[in-house]
Amino acid sequence: MRGLRLIRFIMTRLLQAIPVVLGVVVLNFLLLQLAPGDAATVLAGEAGGAPPEYVEQLRARFGLDKPVLVQLGLYLKNILLLDLGFSFRNNAPVLGLILDRLWPTLLLMGATLLVSVGGGVMLGVIAALGVRTWRDHLISVAAVIAYATPLFWIGLMLILVFSIRLDWFPTSGMEDVVAFHEGWARVVDIAHHLVLPTITLSLFYLALYTRLMRATVLEQRGAEYATTARAKGLTERAITLRHVLRNALLPVITMAGVQVGALLGGSVVVETVFAWPGLGQLAYQSLFARDFNLLLGIFFLSACLVVIVNIIVDVVYVLLDPRIRVGGKT
C-alpha cells in the first residue's frame, strides 16, 4: 500500500517536472540571445577574419538567420524529441558530447555529497556530544574557517601544497592518460585524481552541514522524547544513535537536497581549476565559443539532474519520516 502510493507520488512529481524543465529551457534560450556575438562571429574571428558574406553563409547553415521565436520553436520541438542538436564547434552531436562528460561530473558530485553530508553529520554529532569541550571548539572553529574561505582559493592552495610541494596528488585531469591503466589500476588512478577536487568542492558544504548537524543534535537531545528515552534506562549512546540521530538528520537532508543545484554551479569553478573533464568545464568552454546548442544542452541536462535529485531527496524524506504522507490518507 505504502509502496504503491510512493510510486504514484514519484510519477506525479515526474509529470510535474516536465513543465518546469521546459520553462528552464525557454528561459535559458532567451537569456543566451542577450549575449553579444554568435558562433559564426567566433568561428570567423578564429579564422583570422572573414568576409561578411562568409559569416552570413555560416549563419544560414547554423540556422541563426531565422527569427528568434522560430529558432526557439524549432529547439523546443527537438528537445521534446530528445534531440539536443549539433555542436558546430566540436563537430559532433550535443547529446554524445554531454554524455561523455556526464559521468565525471556525477562522480565528482557523488563524491562531494558523500564527503560533505557524511562527514558533516559525523563531525556535527561529535561536536554536539562533546559540547563545549576541546573537540567541539576545534570542529566549530575549523567549520567557520572552511565556511568563510572562497572555493577557488582553496583549490589553488591545495594544488600548491599537496601537488607541487608535497607531490602527493596529481595537479589536474581525471586520469593518467599516458599510463593506460585498466581494471582496478584505473579505478585507483581515478580515485587518486578525485581527492583534491572533491575536497575543494566539499569543504564549504562540509562546514555547513557540520554546523547544522551540531545545532539540530543539540536541539533534539534536549527534546522531551530524549528525556523519555533516558527515563527508560537507555545509555546515552543508544539515545543518540537510536533516537536523536534520525530526528536530527531530517533538516540536513532537506538542506542537502536544496543545495545539489548549487553544487553543479560550484563544479564549474572546480572543474576549471583542476581541469576535470566534466560538464562544468564543457559549459565554460562552450560559453566562450558561443556554442549555444551545446550550452543549452548542458543546461537542459542540469535542470533534469536537479529535478531528479529533488525527487530522490523527497523519497528519502518520506522513508525517514513516517509523518509525511504521500498521495492520500490511510
Partner 1 sequence: MTGSSTRTSAAGSLDPVLEIRDLSVALPAWADRRLAVNAVSLTVGRGETLCVVGESGSGKSVMARSILRLLPEPHLRIAGGQILLDGEDLARADDRRMRQIRGGEISMVFQEPMVSLNPLMTVGRQIDEILEVHTGWSKAERRRRVIATFEDVRLPEPELIVGAYPHELSGGQRQRVMIAMSLVLEPKLIIADEPTTALDVTTEAQVLTLLKELQVKHGTALLFITHNFGVVAEIADRVAVMRSGELVEYGSAKDVLEHPQHPYTRALIDAVPSLVPRKHPEPSSTAEPILTVRALEKTYGRPSAGPKWLARMMPRLARGRRSAVKAVNKVDLDIRRGSAVALVGESGSGKSTLARCLIGLEQADSGSALIAGDEIVGRSRADWRPLRSRVQMVFQDPFASLNPRTKVGDIIARGAILQGVNPAAAMEQARRLLDLVGLDAKAAERFPHEFSGGQRQRIGIARALAVKPDILIADEPVSALDVSVQKQVLDLLDDLRRQFGLTMLFITHDLRVAAHVCEDIVVLKNGTIVERGLTADIFANPQHDYTRTLLASVPGRDWQRRGLPDQMAPTGE
CA-angle at 32, arms to 30 and 35, nearest 5°:
125
Residues within the interface to partner 1 (CB under 8 A): 8, 11-12, 15, 222-225, 227-235, 238, 242-243, 246-247, 320-323, 327-330
Minimum distance of partner 1 from residue 227's CB (angstroms): 6
Q: Which lies closer to partner 1 via its Cβ, residue 114 or residue 324?
A: 324
**Least Å distance between CB 219 and partner 1?**
12
Query: Are 103 and 174 in contact, with CB atoms under 8 Å apart?
Result: no
**DSSP class per residue in 49-116:** ---HHHHHHHHHHHTTTS-HHHHHHHHHHHHHTT---EETTTTEEHHHHHHHHHHHHHHHHHHHHIII
Q: Return the number of the residue (51 or 233) whose C-beta is nearest partner 1.
A: 233
The Cα–Cα gap between 122 and 276 comes to 28
Q: 257-291: string of b/e by CB count within 10 Å (b at 16+)?
A: bebbbebbebbbbbbbbbebbbbbbbbbebbebbb
Q: Which is nearer to partner 1, 165 or 323 (CB)?
A: 323
| Residue nearer to partner 1 on the CB measure, 97 or 248 | 248
Q: How far is the CB of 215 from partner 1 (least distance, A)?
A: 17
> 52 or 322: whose CB is closer to partner 1?
322
Distances (CA, A) of 206 to 221, 272, 298: 22, 21, 27
Q: Based on CB atoms, which residue is closest to partner 1, 294 or 318?
A: 318
Query: Quick one: which of 65, 58, 60, 66 has its CA closest to 50?
Result: 58
Q: Considering beta carbons, is residue 91 or 330 the nearer one to partner 1? A: 330
Q: Which amino acid is at 101?
A: R
| Residues 316/253, Cβ–Cβ less than 8 Å | yes
Q: How far is the CB of 76 from partner 1 (least distance, A)?
A: 20
The one-character DSSP state at 275 is T
Tell me phi and psi for residue 180, to 5 degrees. 50, 50
Closest CB to partner 1 among residues 36, 322: 322
Find the shortest distance in angstroms from Cβ 214 to partner 1: 18
Q: How far is the CB of 273 from partner 1 (least distance, A)?
A: 41
**Closest approach of Cβ 243 to partner 1, in Å?**
5
The owner of cell 547529446 is 95
Q: Are 56 and 38 in contact (CB under 8 A)?
A: no
Nearest approach, Cβ of residue 14 and partner 1 (Å) = 11
- The count of other CB atoms within 10 Å of the CB of residue 103 is 14
User: 92 pairs with which residues across the strands?
Assistant: 87
Closest CA to 118 of 194, 200, 205, 187: 205
Judged by beta carbon, residue 33 or residue 133, the one nearer partner 1 is 133
As measured in angstroms, the least distance from the Cβ of 138 to partner 1 is 22
**Residue in 256, 308, 315, 305 with CA at minimum distance from that of residue 16:** 308
